Structure formats: structure tokens, C-alpha cells
Amino acid sequence: MRARCLWVLAGLLAGALGPAGSWAARLHQECDYLQMIEDEQRQCLEEAQLENETTGCGKMWDNLTCWPATPRGQSVVLACPLIFKLFSPIQGRNVSRSCTDGGWTQLEPGPYPLACGLDDKAASLEEQQQTMFYNSVKTGYTIGYSLSLATLLVAMAILTLFRKLHCTRNYIHMHLFMSFILRATAVFIKDLALFHSGEVEHCSQGSVGCKAAVVFFQYCVMANFFWLLVEGLYLHTLLAVSFFSERKYFWGYIVIGWGAPSTFILIWTIVRIHFEDHGCWDTINSSLWWIIKAPILTSILVNFILFVCIIRILVQKLRPPDIGKNDSNPYSRLAKSTLLLIPLFGAHYIMFAFFPDNFKAEVKMVFELVVGSFQGFVVAILYCFLNGEVQAELRRKWRRWRLRGLLGWHPKHQPPWGGGSGATSSTQVSMLTRVSPSARRCSSFQAEASLV
């Protein structure tokens, strides 16, 4: 159970770009030893069936070691099984059996754990502590993803139902929300496939459903990182480019956010089928993992560079001679908002993605899995619930609903003095359509700046 929990959490940590390679390497080594034991067992049993009758003790398999045929009255000394190298700090120990009139004797100097230097009490205590830690981590990220999923679904409903909130900026936010929703869903599906199904052996041939769950998980993780990159690209474009077609750029963002990850995941899936089609595809210690890791690291690096460039542009815009220290300037408020978006630009991913592997793994696991699981919740709060446009629209809808409930008013029954409002509204709409792109971007900045 401990190895299985470690395997699953290492895969999840890999999806978050935490360096769980040392754990995965240990599990992979365990698989190699288990495969070696299976091969030795098959060979031992086949040879035992073919050997002639002897007056001593025949060849015997005791689930870990193959004891050769031995004449009566002699002893056999063999080295401890290789798998104990994973668990015991003491190496070079031997075990022995003697052939007597009654057959093979018991293992000497004792059972395998004692004879090969494995302290049962210490190992049991360590296993209990690690199992408790893994279960705590799993509980933590389950709570985080559940809270993020619920919050993101409400935010998606708000941005979808209110037509006045429909614009390119909010469309990009909605795609980002969807990537977080898919990521949380993929985590639950993967846990269901690996923890609660029959996929108990990470060393055996995984089922198609288990592999599909891992492929879906890897795609959702990569798409989430790429949509964070799209948010950075869009904000940088608003600040740096004077005139651009939002519709044209939007379709480009769609290709980056959903198309690029599908390409890399498809390549990884095909290569995995042909070269490493074993287990449930949740191993991350081979070179094939770089097909997924390299694009994600690149997106994190590019997004961090964009963040630095955005800060530089904002600093330049905040220091013209005619502005001074006017805090009411929209760019000043946008600068404060941008500082709140540091986690969304991947600053913490930069720090942990390039940390050495010998860094304390438990800290990385807690930070990447538990803290990272609440990222969707933070995104929903920043991009939706603290957004000034969203709050104004919600208040308007609330007042309208209360007015309708108290007075029985219906929007179809307009008061007689409102007849001229149509022309006024038409004039206002035509005036808004003639606003310059820079003015529209300023309005967009003010909407984001309402976060603070």
C-alpha cells in the first residue's frame, strides 16, 4: 500500500512539475527486482520439474530464493535477495538452509527480514509514518481540488449567463477556468483509477482504462499551464501592442491553449505505446517524460519572462511627468492587481521546477500538490468574484430581481416616460462602437484593476 501511494503521488507531483524522480526511480528499481524474482521463480520451477530424483533435497522455491538440489547432510549458503537493498541499510548478509532426513530446514539465522538486516519494528514505524503523510497529502489536495472545482463552476456559470460580461478578456478567463476544472476532474479520475480500481500493481501491465485516465490527466495538466501562458500573452499584448485584432488573436490563443497540448500528448502516447508500454504509464523516470515536461517548463519560463516584461511596462507607464503619484490612475491600480497575479504567472513553478533533486521531497510534495490544488480557487476569486464588472452586474441583477418581486414589475411593461430611452441607448451604443482601441484597452485595464 505504501509503495502504491508513493507511486500515485509521485505521478501527481510530476504533473505539477515537482521533482519526484528519485521516488519514481526507486519504484522502478522495485519493479525490476520483482520482475527478476518472477523470472527466477519460473526458471526454478521449470528446472525442478525436469531434474531427476535425488536422495537428498530437491530444488525448492521459497517465494524469494531458489535453493538448488543438495545431498543430505549438507548446507547451502546464499546471499540475501536483491530486493532487500531497497529497504535495508545493511548489505552483504547471507542466508542458509540445511538438507536433513526430513527435508530442508528453516531459514537461518532467521526469517528473511531479520537475517537480511531489516528491522521490523523500525520499518513498520517508518511505513506507518509515511502512509500517514501520504494519506494527509491526498486528503489535502482532494479538499483543495474540490473547493476549486465548486468555485470555478460557479464562476463559469456567472460569466456564461450574463451577456454583458461577454468579451475577449472574459472568454480567455473562461477557458482558463475550464482548464482548471478539467485538471481537478482529471485528478479525481486518476485517483479513482489507481486507488479504487483493480490497478493495484504498478509493475504489471496496466489496463486501457487506467492508461486513458493517465493520458487525460497529463493533457489537462499541460493545457492548464498553457492557458496560464495565454493569460500572460494576452495581458502583455494589451500593454505592448497599439492595434490588434482581438478576434484573430483569440483563435490563436485557442490553438495555443488546447491545440498545442493535444499535439505533445499525442506524440507522448504514441511513443509510449511503442517503447514503454508497461504499467499504467505513470512512471516519470525515463527520457520519454521530457516530451511532456519540456513544453511545460518552456511555458513556465516564457510566462515568467512575460510577467517581468509586464512589470517593466507598468513601471514605465507609472512614471510619466504628468502623472506623479496619483494613485487613482488606472495603471497604478493595475500594477497592484498584477502583483496579486504572481502565482498565476508561475513564479513558484519556476522555483521548484529547477530545484535540485536532493531538496527535501516532502516540502515539494506539500507545496505542489496541496497548495497547488487551491490555485483554481484563487483564480476564480481574482478573475471573477473580485472583478468590478462582475460585482456591478450581480448587483444590477439583484436590484432588478428585488424590484420585480416587490412591485410585480416585468421588463416588458415599460413606464410611459421611458419611451425616449431607445434613441438614447442607440446613440450611446453607436458612440461606444466608435471608441478607439486604446480606450477599450483602458476599460479592460480598469476592469482588472478592480481586483484591489
CA distance 397 to 403: 10
Residue 287 grid cell: 527520457
**CB neighbours of 252 closer than 8 A, spacing ≥ 6?**
none
Kindly report the number of other CB atoms within 10 A of residue 82's CB atom: 13
For residue 165 the three cell numbers come to 460580461
Residues 6+ apart with CB under 8 A from 156: 174, 177, 178, 181
For 133-153, the DSSP string reads HHHHHHHHHHHHHHHHHHHHH
Q: Which residues contact 210 (CB under 8 A, 6 or more apart)?
A: 193, 194, 197, 199, 280, 281
**pLDDT truncated to tens, each residue of the chain (452 aa)?**
444 444 444 445 444 444 344 445 555 566 677 778 888 888 888 888 887 766 788 888 998 889 998 888 889 999 888 777 776 666 778 899 999 888 899 988 888 888 887 765 655 676 777 788 888 998 999 999 999 999 999 999 999 988 888 888 889 999 999 999 999 999 999 888 877 654 445 566 677 888 899 999 999 999 999 999 998 898 888 888 777 677 778 889 999 999 999 999 999 999 999 988 877 887 776 788 899 999 998 998 898 898 888 878 877 776 655 455 555 555 555 556 566 666 666 666 776 666 655 566 777 788 888 888 998 998 899 888 988 888 888 888 888 888 877 666 555 444 444 444 333 333 333 333 334 444 444 444 444 434 33
Using CA atoms, how far residue 189 sits from 12, 182, 239, 362, 448, in Å, is 12, 10, 39, 24, 34
Count H helices and E strands in the chain, helices first.
17, 5
Tell me which residue of 150, 222, 185 sits closest to 384, measured CA to CA. 150
Q: What is residue 67's three-state secondary structure?
A: strand
**Residue 346 in contact with residue 231, Cβ under 8 Å?**
no
Task: Please tell me the distance from the alpha carbon of residue 112 to that of residue 93, in angstroms, as a whole number.
Answer: 10
Helix or strand or coil: residue 205?
A: strand
Best CA proximity match to 223, nearest among 273, 181, 271, 190: 181
Torsion angle in degrees (nearest 10) through CA of 164, 166, 170, 176: 130
Q: pTM of the full predicted structure?
A: 0.71
Cα–Cα distance between 200 and 306 in angstroms, integer? 43
